[in-house]
Structure 1
Amino acid sequence: MTRNSTAQNRSGAAKDDELPNLVTIVGRGVPSNFEVSVSGDLEMIDADPKAEATVVNGGVAEGTIDTGVYRFRFSGEMANVRLVDWNGVAAPDSPSTPNVHVDYGVANR
């Protein structure tokens, strides 16, 4: 994937009708890489993508997570999720990769 330094974040100002869906990535205490792609638009919420070194461009987010939670609002459908632990072992073969939750049609929290 080509990295783009464009970071998108509305600081919680996303409207439910524009970005009605939510994807949550939960770190498990092990450095891991993630890539999430959707068929519509995607925005990181509750965090600054630049501070978290997360690249968000259109419908794709790419970054790393160790501990904590990253949340993204999106439109469209989930297209792909790729998770790889620090050894390069992909989910579901690694018990250390982050958990991912996808919720459709949820109110902006």
Structure 2
Amino acid sequence: MTRIDSVRAATGSAKDSVLHAAEVVAPYADTAKERAAFYAQEARVRLAPVVSGAAEQARTQYNAQLAPRLEHARRTYVPPKVDHAAQEAACRTRKAARQAAEYSRPR
């Protein structure tokens, strides 16, 4: 037997071992996939109200405490031209982000 023949035999044996392992593991992989989907849905159901409540509380706190201070600081310390340029940049950034999100969305 030549070296190439022994390599072919080893390759065939390895291929058979891999196919056998795939057949043995397949049912466990399916079960794991189903369990993972179930647990993800369960976490979503349990955490959604908590996350929504936290987000609402954060919005309320921001609007009540931080937004007025930021607005006051902006009007007091930022020159009008710089403020206008920053607002324009923010608008363009939001538009670009929306376009990127639409472009990357699965079709």
Fold equivalence (TM over 0.5): no
> What's the TM-score, normalizing by structure 2?
0.17
Larger gyration radius, structure 1 or structure 2: 2
> What's the TM-score, normalizing by structure 1?
0.17
Structure with higher helix content: 2
Structure with higher strand content: 1
